[in-house]
């Protein structure tokens, strides 16, 4: 065997170190972007055709499920960055009613297609938060409300005990007792065996904790009631 032949021996699997978590994060990022483009195309398609898609339950289901998958990928990417200590909140001041109105506009086509009424009741207040992170939380929460509401969703915002409290309410059956929660969630508290991991709640709780002022830290709260009588999700930001 010549020296050149010896140098061409096939590499063994252990000869290269592959960071699979980085590979998965990169794949999730690409899928998230692709689904974002798909959602934009669905909105454009809905706008191009006045009646047929808007009246089609299959079209609404396609848009809802694509939105749900997109939210899941956003959460997975965020949780990965949290684990790598690469996710931080860029806090800026925002006029809350404008933020909620702009956010609701994204969901309006699907809301109209499903025949669900959604309105905003917000005090004229400013808040300090990371727009992108809070958008990810609200996207998932509204998408969850779409699944369980009967016909109405309500977005709220008010100052309470020195915190900005943003809420999402629906007129569905409400949260089961096991899910009603106040404070923060620990990853070890998630249950991967019963089919409902509450990963979205862990993500929301983690985002809330990134918002802090002095010794005060953000948190989430889930309960039933509100003005619509169903489930109420609240995120409290200092």
Higher per-residue confidence, 36 vs 145:
145
Calculate mean pLDDT across residues 217-236. 94
- Tell me the C-alpha distance between 96 and 26, whole Å: 33
Q: How many CB atoms lie within 10 A of CB 165?
A: 17
Residue range 19-63, pLDDT digits in tens = 656 667 676 667 777 777 877 777 777 777 655 555 577 778 888
Residue 192 confidence (pLDDT): 45
- Tell me the C-alpha distance between 206 and 96, whole Å: 21
Residues 6+ apart with CB under 8 A from 195: none
Q: Cα–chain-centroid distance for residue 194?
A: 21
Higher per-residue confidence, 22 vs 188:
22
Could you give the 3-state DSSP secondary structure of residue 166? Answer: strand
Residue 163 confidence (pLDDT): 97
Q: What is the pTM of this model?
A: 0.79
pLDDT at residue 193 above 60? no
| Average confidence score pLDDT of the chain | 81
């Amino acid at each position: 065997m010549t020296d050149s032949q010896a140098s061409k021996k096939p590499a063994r699997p252990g000869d290269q170190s592959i960071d699979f978590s980085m590979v998965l994060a990169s794949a999730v990022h690409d899928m998230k972007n692709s689904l974002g483009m798909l959602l934009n195309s669905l909105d454009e398609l809905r706008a191009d055709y006045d009646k047929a898609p808007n009246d089609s339950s299959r079209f609404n289901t396609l848009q809802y499920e694509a939105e749900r998958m997109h939210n899941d990928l956003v959460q997975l990417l965020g949780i990965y960055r949290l684990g790598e200590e690469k996710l931080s909140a860029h806090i800026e001041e925002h006029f809350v009613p404008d933020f909620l109105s702009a956010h609701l506009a994204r969901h309006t086509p699907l809301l109209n297609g499903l025949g669900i009424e959604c309105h905003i009741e917000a005090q004229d207040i400013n808040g300090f938060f990371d727009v992108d992170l809070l958008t990810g939380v609200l996207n998932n929460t509204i998408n969850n409300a779409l699944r369980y509401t009967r016909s109405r969703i309500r977005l709220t915002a008010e100052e309470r005990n020195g915190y900005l409290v943003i809420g999402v309410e629906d007129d569905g059956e409400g949260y089961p007792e096991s899910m009603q929660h106040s404070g923060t969630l620990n990853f070890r508290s998630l249950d991967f065996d019963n089919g409902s991991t509450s990963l979205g709640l862990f993500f929301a709780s983690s985002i809330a904790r990134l918002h802090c002022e002095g010794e005060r830290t953000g948190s989430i709260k889930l309960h039933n009631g509100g003005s619509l009588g169903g489930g109420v999700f609240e995120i409290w930001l200092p």
